[in-house]
Amino acid sequence: MFAIRNLVRSNVQFAKNVTPIRNMSVTATPARNKVSNGEMIVLASLMVIGWSAIPAWVLVNIKNYRGN
């Protein structure tokens, strides 16, 4: 009986620790400093290069992956 009671108690404590606690005191505001167009272009191009690097690598080396 006591073992079951301790097991139920530990499960309740585990459920309380798993659920995230949200603090809603932060409010979103516009940026204080505007990002320049040049910086936006550089950052966007770096993201596109990063996203397409692995698919490009696979397409270049597809013969090696197929074993030919």
- At 2-59, the pLDDT tens digits run 666 665 666 666 666 676 777 677 778 888 899 999 999 999 999 999 999 999 999 9
Dihedral over alpha carbons 37, 41, 46, 49 (to 10 degrees): 170
Identity of the amino acid at 56: A
Name the pTM for this structure. Answer: 0.50
Higher pLDDT, 1 or 34: 34
- Residue 6, pLDDT score: 62
Per the document, the length of the chain is 68
In a domain? residue 28:
no
In a domain? residue 45:
yes
Rounded Cα–Cα distance for residues 66 and 62 (Å): 6
In a domain? residue 15:
no
| Contacts of 65 by beta carbon, 8 Å cutoff, 6+ apart | 58
**pLDDT at residue 68 tops 80:** no
48: containing domain: 37-68
Structurally, the chain folds into a number of domains equal to 1
- Residue 67, pLDDT score: 80
